[in-house]
Amino acid sequence: MPDTEQLYSAYKTIMQKAADLNNASAVLGWDQEVYMPTKGAEFRGRQLATLAGQAHELLTSDDFGKLLNELSGRQGLVDVEQNNVRLSLEDYEKNKKLSAAFVEELSKLTSECFNAWITAKKQNDFTLFAPSLTKMIALKRKQAELLGYKAHPYDALLDEYEKGATVAMLDPVFAGIKEQMPLLLARIKSATQVSNDFFHQHYPKQQQWDFGIDVLNHMGFDFEAGRQDISEHPFTTTFAPTDVRITTHVNENNFASMLWSCIHEGGHGLYEQGLPEDQYGLPLGAAVSLGIHESQSRLWENCIGRGKDFWTYFYPRLQASFPEQLSYIDTDTFFKAANKVEPSLIRIEADELTYHFHVLIRYEIEKALIEGTLETEEIPARWNELYNKYLGVMPPDDKTGALQDVHWSHGSFGYFPTYTLGSFYAAQFYAQAQKDIPGLLEQIRKGQFKPLLEWLREKVHTHGRRYTSEELCERITGKKLDAACFMSYAEEKFGRVYDLVNSK
């Protein structure tokens, strides 16, 4: 009988071999969205399906299950090893419910669906996406049944991105948004609106790109362990903590498009670069959840990047890059413009407050699709109805409506709620960071982000998946997720932007 050390070594070898396969898939997926020629789609789908199937077989084999069960009952494992085995056994029991054939089918359909989405968005025609999306929805319903759930089929898909999240947990969160957010929005609406017209001048692509790289360097993104590229929809992917890829989208007539996506994806990238290298392929070398991942991007994008302190340092540099466009705009005007609140059509360009209604709309549609009360061909009409209801705007076409996001083409049902959870976690973490780091705001005003990044490394990144999202939040802040913290942050920030101090 092998000793515990030998068994753990065998476990580690299998886990890292599966990680190699998954990360090879990630390279192909990154290439698919950044550089792949259109005609490569069919074979790329096959290649991705093959790798996904092989990785799944490794991690669901009976022998691997026996190894995990044997290890879980062994003495002699150190704390890190115990947690890796515990989490891998949980993953095994979940993965075992999906056959290799199902995983390959889902991977192949994802490639087909993504390419159909690209075509449909370019031609502004949802009907070109609908057939592939219908197949994807059917497969995700099947996945929910295979994984199992107690109350709602959507719960099984939510758990893939945010462990423990359920409809019963999220419904009150979104009910709170529907109840509280309109009160703040009404006060803002009655105030004098700020202008961000100067964002919509001509900003040459290369200068935008160079400024984005400068910001990322200051944030601490390691370009020897990562890179940035252009894609249709900004995203982050990783092949190891030493090889993290982020993308942005440049619109020469809307500077904000590149700016916020660059900082947002940079936050994701910093998290991935901060995961422990010695835990590659193991649970303690992976991110906690999508909600915590979003907390990192939202903290950098909104709490930091849209803050007055950030622009105290960066705005003179931005003016130097774009003197013709910004020489007549002062820092305070720019700060207010960066935080303009106004209902809009595009989620990734939405302001920090109305953004949550964009997420709410997708959440309600996804629940209906998975439970079978809404069918694919009904999506555009329902989408438009909800945008009119919650935001008072009406999409003029499919490209700015139901085709705007890539997520459904990836089969990522259950993903969108993590955006709102991440914003709430971000506000809570940022409040705690200000308590823990002496002079944090002054450091930000000087463009010094190393202390903040080191705090995030210690509090969040280094733990991998050791804790659940709520456990991690409680360790960092002393309490579980508290939506009231976000509302306090929003009241203070937008009170400054719209001079609401005396408008209650």
Q: Please tell me the predicted confidence (pLDDT) of residue 1.
A: 65
**Pairing between β-strand 236-240 and β-strand 226-230 as defined by DSSP bridges:** unpaired
Q: Are 140 and 370 in contact (CB under 8 A)?
A: yes
Is residue 277 part of the annotated active site? The answer reads no
Q: Which helix (H) or strand (E) holds 238?
A: strand 236-240
- 3-state SS record for 340-407: CCCCCCCHHHCCCCCHHHHHHHHHHHHHHHHHCCCCHHHHHHHHHHHHHHHCCCCCCCCCCCCCCCCH
Q: Please tell me the predicted confidence (pLDDT) of residue 473.
A: 96
Cβ-defined contacts of 255-259 (< 8 Å, 24+): 255/199, 255/201, 255/203, 255/208, 255/322, 255/325, 256/196, 256/199, 256/338, 256/349, 257/349, 258/208, 258/209, 258/212, 259/208, 259/211, 259/212, 259/215, 259/305
Q: 167-498, which class in CATH?
A: mainly alpha
Query: Domain coordinates of the chain in residue numbers?
Result: 4-148, 167-498
Looking at the DSSP assignment, which residues form a beta bridge with residue 29?
Answer: none
* Separation between Cα atoms, residue 223 and residue 395, nearest integer Å: 39
Query: 213 in helix, strand or coil?
Result: helix
Q: Which helix (H) or strand (E) holds 230?
A: strand 226-230
Q: Please tell me the predicted confidence (pLDDT) of residue 504.
A: 46
Phi-psi region of 375 (alpha: psi -120 to 50; beta: other; left: phi over 0): beta
* Separation between Cα atoms, residue 106 and residue 56, nearest integer Å: 12
Looking at the DSSP assignment, which residues form a beta bridge with residue 245?
Answer: 227, 237
Residues 265, 272, 352, 470: which is the catalytic one?
A: 265
* Separation between Cα atoms, residue 141 and residue 127, nearest integer Å: 21
Spacing of C-alpha 497 from chain mean position:
26
Helices (H), 35-99: 41-60, 62-72, 79-95
E strands, 276-323, where?
A: none
- Report which of 421, 416, 402, 286 is spatially closest to residue 360, judged by C-alpha positions: 416
Question: What one-character DSSP code corresponds to residue 8?
Answer: H
Per-residue pLDDT of the chain (504 residues), as tens digits, is 688 999 999 999 999 999 999 999 999 999 988 889 989 988 998 899 899 889 999 999 999 999 999 999 888 899 999 999 999 999 999 989 999 899 889 989 998 999 999 999 999 999 999 999 999 999 999 999 999 999 999 999 999 999 989 999 999 999 999 999 999 999 999 999 999 999 999 999 999 999 999 999 999 999 999 999 998 778 999 999 999 999 999 999 999 889 999 999 999 999 999 999 999 999 999 999 999 999 999 999 999 999 999 999 999 999 999 999 999 999 999 999 999 999 999 998 899 999 999 999 999 999 999 999 999 999 999 999 999 999 999 999 999 999 999 999 999 999 999 999 999 999 999 999 999 999 999 999 999 999 999 999 999 999 999 999 999 999 999 999 999 999 999 999 999 999 987 544
| Residue 264, both tokens | 């947002």
* Separation between Cα atoms, residue 288 and residue 468, nearest integer Å: 6
* Separation between Cα atoms, residue 471 and residue 452, nearest integer Å: 21
- pTM over 0.75? The answer is yes
Q: Are 401 and 383 in contact (CB under 8 A)?
A: yes
- 3-state SS record for 84-135: HHHHHHHHHHHHCCCCHHHHHHHHHHHHHHHHHHHHHHHHCCHHHCHHHHHH
